[in-house]
Amino acid sequence: MAAPSPTPEPSGRDRREYYRITVTLPIYLQPETETIEGELVKQPVNLSAGGIGLTVNTLFQPDAILSCTLLFPDQVLFKSFVEVLRVDAVAYPLNTYRLHGRFIRMTRDDRERLVRYILQFQREHLAK
């Protein structure tokens, strides 16, 4: 059986139509060419089915492709690739940046799994 093909990349307008959440999750980002994964670090992440925003200490260049690993609360690892759209310097602390990226090369199943997680988080948040 052939591997599922990636869904078309969402446009900027499409990415904004996805529901966004800010949630604290264990995450690790690295250039896609690195083969040894580092340690997952828990931090706030702005997440949607189209992309991700977070604070980083590494100055990644726009258009760089990163490997992204997230650990969902049910202890499921979610892996995808992120294209860096923009990196903004943060005034404090030094050497801190706000990274804005979009998910790329994501299969339909992975995108649906991400949407389900985001909707589950929204339901839990609204129930509080």
**Entry field: residues in the chain:** 128
**Residuewise pLDDT in 10s, the chain (128 residues):** 445 555 455 555 444 567 889 999 999 999 999 988 889 999 999 999 999 999 999 999 999 999 999 999 888 899 999 999 999 999 989 999 999 999 999 999 999 999 999 998 888 878 87
Question: Which of 89, 91, 103 shows the shortest CA–CA distance to 29?
Answer: 103
